[in-house]
């Protein structure tokens, strides 16, 4: 699900439309629903996964790769995964 209409890239907050769109899609499909566009950090990924099955991140990963290198990306992806997994544990 496109989290918001507009230019892609990092945002300071997850758009309310992201959760709303994912919620609507989950009601009409049994396919996995992923939220992309504007998911910029681990906390936003966790928030998106309160309704979505996962997230797609581009700009936040590319920025870290360019500014800090591959090790930083690996650490960031691990942080996002931990945040999402912590939500899944509390969701059960």
* Domain map (residue ranges) of the chain: 16-91
User: Measured between alpha carbons, how far is 78 from 86 in angstroms, rounded to an integer?
Assistant: 12
Q: What is the pLDDT of residues 55-88, one digit of tens each?
A: 988 888 988 999 999 999 999 999 999 999 987 7
pLDDT category at 5 given cuts 50, 70, 90 is very low
Whether the model pTM is above 0.95: no
Q: Are 49 and 87 in contact (CB under 8 A)?
A: yes
Q: pLDDT tens digit string along 21-64?
A: 899 999 999 999 998 877 889 999 998 889 999 998 888 898 89
- Who's near 54: CB < 8 A, 6+ residues apart? 32, 34, 35, 84
């Amino acid at each position: 699900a496109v989290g918001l209409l507009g230019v892609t890239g990092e945002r300071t907050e997850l758009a309310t439309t992201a959760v709303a769109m994912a919620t609507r899609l989950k009601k009409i499909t049994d396919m996995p629903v992923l939220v992309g566009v504007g998911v910029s950090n681990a906390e936003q990924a966790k928030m998106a996964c309160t309704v979505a099955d996962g997230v797609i991140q581009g700009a936040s990963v590319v920025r870290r790769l360019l500014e800090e290198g591959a090790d930083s990306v690996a650490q960031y992806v691990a942080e996002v995964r931990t945040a999402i997994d912590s939500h899944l544990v509390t969701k059960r």
